[in-house]
Amino acid sequence: MDKITFLGAGSTVFAKNVLGDCITTDAMREFEYALYDIDHQRLEESYMMLSNINRNSNDGKAKVVKYADRLDALRGAKYVINCIQVGGYDPCTITDFEIPKKYGLRQTIGDTHGIGGMFRALRTIPVMLDFAKDMEKVCPDALFINYTNPMSMLCLAMFRASSVNTVGLCHSHQACVPELLAELGMPWDGVSYKISGINHMAWLLEISRNGEDLYPIIRKRAQEGPIYAPTLALRELHPEYADRIPSVAEQFTPDNHHDMVRFEIMKQFGYFVTESSEHSSEYYPWFIKKDHPELIDRFHIPLDEYPRRCRDQIARWKQQAEHLVHNENLTHTRSSEYAAGIIEALETGRTFGFAGNVLNTGLIDNLPFDACVEVSCMVNEGHLSPCHMGPLPNQLAALNRRQIEVHQLTVDAALTRKKEYIYQAAMLDPHAGSELTIDEIRSLVDDLIQAHGDWLPEYH
């Protein structure tokens, strides 16, 4: 029996989307679904939920198994899906936000780039490489599908320090075009586009319909308005959350809407970026500045947004659990996640296209070859192949390279345990480097290492 292993299976909502898609796809209906998580209560909840889906939407054809031992969970797996969060909200996410705040360095999400992303990588990479060692022993040919952030740094560590076949998946690429066009009141059906760059900073390079370049219209509407909240696009992209998304889009002006940072980046650099404004605001040196607090209101930047989301999610879980875990009639409708499409294509020989995070083996000509890049990928005749995307416009490549340098040094630190690389990565971070002195950055790094304690290995 073929086997899909899900690491971090206590992420119950995400497990429903990803594994629910797989269980209800013909090519994977009779697979074993191996669930593993260090939180045994959440593991049990996900097991109950997926068992109900398997019974109600798959006639019980799949085998859903929960494992207490990680090696057993991985043994013989054909596909491994990773969705872990090392250290969780409390204490590690709190630490990622509160320590920098003492230095006047504010963040919104802190999970991908910047200081927060760096320290999330430093505590996650050792765990990921332990996964890789286990996989090399008991399922060396398995495909490792990573959903955990910080995507670029984690995948880069896997590329550099393991033999595991790895691809990273993120939602921002697939949501980018529907959200942008919905914001401008434009339909997104029949649209062709090209996106290339790095995770959370990939660029909409081309967009057309029936051969007509839509960028002149997009740029004009972005300046003249009106701008709409992309609620209708979100309802279609995420039907599982439709009850929480308004059915009518609110209307705003170009000077006052929810996506100000991304539109400003497009105005200044010519292209729309994939990741949301709340994420993007902390990736550049121009938006969150302690000497210019007026920018927070001007660009509607939600400081401390990720901790707030974590608290809301924790508070909501009991209500969600009643529907997901204790609902014996639970069924599943296919979500927009890529994982099931990739696995189905690999199993059947069908063709499937998606955006993946892979090693830049010349795929983007003017980014470093040892970087993790986010590009179009194809599964065809049972093989997964990233596509050559050509060069980025120079201004976009420059923005990407600023983050890539931080990624590379952070991974260097994780692999060598040299603290000096952490200092250097933090100094090169565009946000920290624009706000803090060298001495402040070094002190901040020391404080974060001390506050994380045993969540980090020892650095020298």
Nearest CA to 35 out of 55, 56, 20, 57 is that of 20
Specify the DSSP class assigned to residue 199.
T
Q: Which residues, at least 6 apart from 276, have a Cβ–Cβ distance to it below 8 Å?
A: 172, 259, 262
The DSSP line for 388-405 is P--PPPHHHHHHHHHHHH
Per the annotation, binding residues for Mn(2+) are 170, 200
Residues 6, 19 contacting (CB under 8 angstroms): yes
Per the annotation, binding residues are 149, 170, 200
Alpha carbon 12 to its chain's center: 17
**Four-residue CA torsion sign, 138, 140, 142, 147:** positive
Question: Alpha-carbon Rg of the chain, whole angstroms?
Answer: 22
Tell me the three state secondary structure of residue 417: coil
Per the annotation, binding residues for substrate are 149
Residues 287, 94 contacting (CB under 8 angstroms): no
Catalytic, 171? Answer: yes
Catalytic residue among 40, 113, 171, 257: 171
Phi, psi angles (nearest 5°) of residue 263: -70, -35
Report d(CA 203, CA 393) in Å as an integer. 10
List the catalytic residues: 171
